[in-house]
Chain A
Amino acid sequence: MSPSSATLTPSSRPRTATRSRRPRRSRDLWLGVTGVLIVLAGAETLSRTGIVNPDFLPPVTEMYASLFEMLGEGWFWEALWLTVRGWAIGLAAAMALGIVVGFVIGSSAFLRKFTNSTIEFLRPIPSVALIPLVILIFGTQPQSAFVLVVYAAFWQVLVQVLYGVADVDPVARDTARSYHFGPIRIARSVVYPTALPYIMTAFRLGAAVALILEITAELVIGVDGLGRELGVAQSSGAVPETYALVIVIGFIGVAVNLLVRLIERKALWWHPSVRSEQS
């Protein structure tokens, strides 16, 4: 967008934006595809020429052959469903809890000071420290994974939301106060827009950490899901299948990130980091 377009009437602005954006979009798409092809071709070459031992790194084509074979099998879809379900439930619980607690604590100076030391103590306790505990209590039941996922993702979300609430422009807040905005209105029209980018970051990070912990629980504890299948494939020496499962798990993560980004773009269209891409 040229500087003069800022003075255009709102109705004509979107049209200008889409027109200038389309060539760039398709160029970005092609660049992205090129990047992926370079990596795939590189890995295939390394393996086929024996620069890297093919026992360690099978050709990419073999990995995908094994992947497509898995797509036809029932256990795969069962495991995929269990992993995604465990991840989604845990993340949803952590997000809800983190946002509510974050807004409540963040909006009161007293609560912030009162809970700060406790949060700072509990947050860095690595969720994996709880692994022995959940094994004792729940064994290989899905609850083991749920506890780990919620514990890990909750702190990520809470800390981001607290950062976000603390990042509110004091002038804006004071202005709202002198206009006698009530606490709910301040939360909605001053705190929420400031905190929204942080909440989106929290969602993204929380989603990643939740997936890490869900897979870890499956891999280490033996909760049913893709992680457990990965452990089985690895210990039985099925290298292409191991890679195929890693790729599938990676794609779950990619799908999640794309979804988050879509929501982010819709929710943060006014933010400089999103807008500068369209200029």
Chain B
Amino acid sequence: MTRYFKQAGYALGLPVILLTGWWVASAGSTNPFWPPLSTILEAFPTTWTMDRIVGDVLPSLARLGIGFGIAVVLGIVLGTAIGLSPTLRALSEPVLEFFRAVPPPVLVPIIALFAGYTGWLGKIITIALGCLWPILLNTVEGVRGLDPTLTDTAKSYRLSPWRRLVFVILPGASPRIFTGARQSLSIGVILMVISELFGANRGLGAAIVQFQRTFAIPQMWTGVILLGVIGVLLAMLFRLAENRMLAWYVGQRQIERGA
């Protein structure tokens, strides 16, 4: 029982200190940019009504989910192929190097030319393209960094290429793939917001900028907080998936640590 209290204490200690600090420091604030925390919290339920959640928040999240999903599938498939073949790696490296180096927001004007930017397509392409590179890169690194003993053992046991892929290569690379996917998710959230700053009037990012332009500062702050909360929830969801799918890796680490 005390263990749970201890854990809760660790988890809540610093946030409580920081929030209390914010509350106290902003309590009597008359600076229009830094309204008191109490004012922000009061504005929250009236700002994010059911109507707004269905009309702005959910479509944003759906676009993020679709784009991220496309990036994960493409990234793992391409990354494994490139990581396994030195020839393919040499052939594609300069090209990938270039496309990876182009910051995704820069593609917005170009994607807008092709797909238009008022609908979902342009935004989803932006998110998918931006999320692709960290996953692709990490998959390549994960496949390259495999323990040579493992791959050699698999070879000398004459495992078929398919079995080697499913039982040795992908599991071996999966910790790196998850690291990449985690990076991608945060880039995806960034792009979800940015894609709505161009030519969209609905969506979470569009709503927050709308508040800023109309100087509805407490409402803007609620948007920033909501974005943060969404980010945290997504990270928790990701952690859950990671712990489930990388159970062997997490367990192995814990045993090694003697925890």
Residues of A within 8 A of B (CB): 27-28, 31-36, 39, 55-56, 113-118, 120-133, 135-137, 152, 155-156, 163, 169-171, 205, 208-209, 211-212, 215-216, 219-220, 227, 230-231, 234, 239, 242-243, 245-246, 249-254, 256-258, 272-273, 276
Contact = CB atoms under 8 A, between A and B. Distances in A.
Nearest to A174: B258
Contacts of A211: 101, 103
Given A216-B103, A253-B102, 6 more contacts: A31-B91, A35-B92, A36-B94, A129-B228, A253-B98, A273-B144
Nearest to B130: A212
B227 A129 contact: yes
Contacts of B205: 128
Interface stretch (B38-46, B51-59, B161-169, B179-187): B179-187
B209 interface: yes
A253 B103 contact: yes
Given A28-B90, A257-B101, A120 B235 contact: yes
Contacts of A245: 106
Given A115-B14, A215-B103, A276-B144, A35 B93 contact: yes
Given A35-B93, A121-B232, A128 B183 contact: no
A43 to B, nearest CB: 11
B100 A253 contact: yes
B200 to A, nearest CB: 13
Given A117-B12, A136-B33, A249-B103, A126 B94 contact: no
B211 interface: yes
A135 B192 CA distance: 19
Interface of A is mostly: helix
B98 A254 contact: yes
Contact of A120 (B12, B220, B232): B232
Contact of B114 (A33, A56, A212, A251): A56
A125 B101 contact: no
A254 B101 contact: yes
Given A121-B232, A216-B105, A114 B13 contact: yes
Contacts of A155: 186
Given A124-B232, A124-B234, A32 B144 contact: no
Interface string B11-25: 111110010000000
Closest 3 CB pairs of A and B: A253-B101, A124-B231, A132-B212
B157 interface: no
A200 to B, nearest CB: 11
B110 interface: yes
A35 B94 contact: yes
B103 A130 contact: no
Nearest to A217: B105
Nearest to B7: A113
Contacts of B104: 212
A239 B220 contact: no
B4 interface: no
Contacts of A272: 145, 147-148
B223 interface: yes
